[in-house]
Chains A and B, each alone.
Chain A
Amino acid sequence: MNEVHMTTAGWFFLGATWGAVIMVTAYCVCRLLRSQKRSGSEKRKA
């Protein structure tokens, strides 16, 4: 590979992949924490 400058396509791939990974991870972690909190409070009630 002789190209040593980020091309527009390179920025697109970087942005799309990083964006998708960050969004999915944030969604999963938030859902998981919410569900753990919910199951914790259900256990305390029981």
Chain B
Amino acid sequence: MILAMAGNAVGLGNMLRFPVQAASNGGGAFMIPYVVALLLLGIPMMWVEWALGRFGGARGHGTTPGMFELIWRSRAAKYVGLLGVALPLLVAVYYTYVESWTLAYAAFSAAGTFAGKPAGFFQSFFQDNVGGVSWSIYAFFAVTALLNALVMSRGVAGGIERLAKVAIPLLFVFALILVVRVLTLGAPVANHPERNVWNGMAFLWNPDVTRLSEMRIWLAAAGQIFFTLSLGFGVIACYASYLKKDDDIVLSGLTTASLNETVEVILGGSLAIPLAFAFLGAPAVEAVAKSGPFTLAFVTMPMVFQQLPYGQFFATIWFLLLFFAGITSSVALAQAAVAFLEDEFGLDRTRCCAIVWSFIFAAANVVVFGKGVMGEIDFWAGTLGIVVFALLEVVIFVWVLGPDKAWAEIVRGADINPPRIAYYVLKYVTPCYLFVLVAGWIWQDGRAVATMSQAPPEEVPWRWAGRGLIVLTIAILAFLTARSKRLAKDDVKAGGAQ
């Protein structure tokens, strides 16, 4: 289960999002709000989701609609909880598509498609095949969705945990091979001795403390912690529902978080940016930091690998590493919807996987063909949605259940005793921090995104289609929640208790 949880947490964000965020948000200074967010948000929320999951699982509910209803005796609880199924499902729609690019690029790299190509080739290749619609990428997307469905149809122990047992160690091995290669590279461009990988690290680690006064950096750091630890998706709670009543969650949650940080800070931080600096120099890295993680992964990295001895091999393991990071997260994202259908409607797992992955595949066509849809879903579901849902989780678990009961639930069966201060952090600091985060995002980006004022005009209709997809997904799940006889039975009990 720890490896499956680590697989859920370790994703594309560790290798791609973190270095770009750190490089564009003050370098080493970014680590200050990052560590603060990890301690005040990341670890407490990790414990809340693990405890919520174990609490619900012991009472027969594997997803948040049922879990919320157990704690919050209100008819609204199950509808609030359905966000814990809708958000990961919506994120899975575009995440799986991005994951399929990594599989496609691994295959292209292994087949030598990129060998000897000039630097300009990679930007146009990415724009034509990924930015536009390419049937070869579409085929890889179909294969990726099928692979996910096959893994999931074998169950949590036989499919998801087995995948994590293979993929996570392989991911570590591939990442270590690449890190050793990068850190022993020195200055690979003969007439630029100053371009060595350690100076490339300066982009991530030289602190620009003047940036600490910017609210944007604190929001970016908290957002990175959320995305990297997969908090606020309801997925951790879903996995934790398979734990036994007295299984440890304090040490397990901490181990999952620390394994994730090792991959992100040490391995993820030592690869892409230093390598790009060593070959392309400072202006290229500054441009990459501005243009975002996709350019880094699918344009800059293949370009750089072509200049590296045995680049074909290193490029293949780089993209395979990303694929393993992606697939262990995408199965987790889809698991909440599968478990919801299994638990609340008694459907068999194979049928649930077929329904969920058919939905993801069909819905992803809006992302594939519609420019700007990915950004739209990413903001509403993958950025704002997860923080709002995390706030609801912590309020319901800590304040509705009661702070003392919630704390007792967290520390039951614990191998290590968390310090008492963690109780007060969970009770006061984490909810307030989350509230500030939600307000900050709405204040900073909310109006521009809501009114689409910065969106190119040709993207506006597609962005509306993206919003339609979000509303449709939530409406379908609300309809299913209302139709669930099991949830309705708990509803009656809730009414009686009141």
Contacts and interface: CB of A to CB of B under 8 A. Distances in A.
Contact of B28 (A4, A13, A22, A32): A13
- The interface size bin for chain A is 20 to 34
Interface in A19-45: 21-22, 24-25, 28-29, 31-32, 35
- The interface size bin for chain B is 20 to 34
Contacts of A2: 282
Contacts of A31: 251, 255, 415-416
Contacts of A10: 27-28, 201-202, 205-207
B233 to A, nearest CB: 22
A32 B255 contact: yes
Contacts of A12: 28
For the residues of B in contact with A, the DSSP-based class is: helix
A14 B415 contact: no
Q: Among the interface residues B35, B205, B282, which one has the most CB atoms of the partner chain A within 10 A?
A: B205
B254 A28 contact: yes
A22 B31 contact: no
B393 interface: no
A3 to B, nearest CB: 6
Interface stretch (B83-91, B101-109, B260-268, B470-478): B260-268
B261 A35 contact: no
Given A1-B286, A2-B282, A4-B282, A9 B206 contact: yes
B199 interface: yes
B201 A9 contact: no
Given A9-B207, A14-B28, A21 B202 contact: no
Given A6-B198, A28-B255, A35-B415, A1 B206 contact: yes
Contact of A28 (B31, B195, B258, B265): B258
Contact of B205 (A11, A21, A24, A35): A11
Interface of B: 2, 23, 27-28, 31, 35, 194-195, 198-199, 201-208, 248, 251-252, 254-255, 258-259, 261-262, 265-266, 277, 282, 286, 415-416
